[in-house]
Amino acid sequence: MIKLKNTKRQGNKVAGNLGLARRSLIILIAVAVVVAVSVFGFLRQKTGGSDNSNRETILFSVKRGDLIISVTESGSIKAVDSVDIKSKVEGRATIVNIAPEGTMITPEDVNDGKILVELDSSKLEEQLSQKSIELSTAEATLADANESFLIQVKQNESDITAGELKVKFARMDFQKYLGGSIAEEVIDKM
């Protein structure tokens, strides 16, 4: 009998624990539902739920027609691939003629060498004529220097030939004065 009493007590304990667990679960679910409803109500009130939207809503009558969409927006445009075009002309360049805005350039225009921009070339032409004069002056100076060089070369050759002749004549005079064999001995000792 003692064994049966212990078994009966354990069965009552398990049944009591299951009942307690069920009650706790029901209470927990009820609390979760209350919290969810409260949060939903709070958020609806905060965002201006359906009651507030009726007061602020503007009503329009609907009729069939064209839908016109016009948007005015400020912003900036940036090219994906940009190329900087710079003039290689030194100093200031003045534009004399330019192609009209919106002109479409075709590959044929490029092949034909169509002029899109014409710069003022008067200063460049003036510089070109000045540089041409400087070039002519430099060429004339070069020609004078070459002539002077050739004259100096001929003068130096003439001076060398004259010096060799003077040495030859001096040697002949020396041999006449001392005699051929004695003059040769003196010259060899030098």
Token look-up 């069939």 returns: 64
Tell me how far apart the alpha carbons of residues 185 and 190 are, in angstroms, rounded to a whole number.
9
Domain that holds residue 184: 126-189
Domain count, the chain: 2
Residues facing residue 95 across a β-bridge? 119
Q: How sure is the predictor about 10, in pLDDT bands with cuts at 50, 70 and 90?
A: low
In a domain, 112, yes or no: no
* Cα gap 97→106, rounded to integer Å: 20
What digits encode the pLDDT tens for the residues 28-58?
A: 999 999 999 888 888 877 665 455 445 567 8
Q: Using the predicted structure, report yes or no on whether residue 9 has a pLDDT greater than 70.
A: no
The alpha carbons of the chain give a radius of gyration, in whole angstroms, of 59
Overall average pLDDT of the 69-77 stretch: 86
Domain presence at residue 88: no
Q: What is the pTM of this model?
A: 0.38
Structure tokens given for 42? 């709070």
134 is written with which tokens?
A: 């400087």
Query: Would 104 be classed as within a structural domain?
Result: no
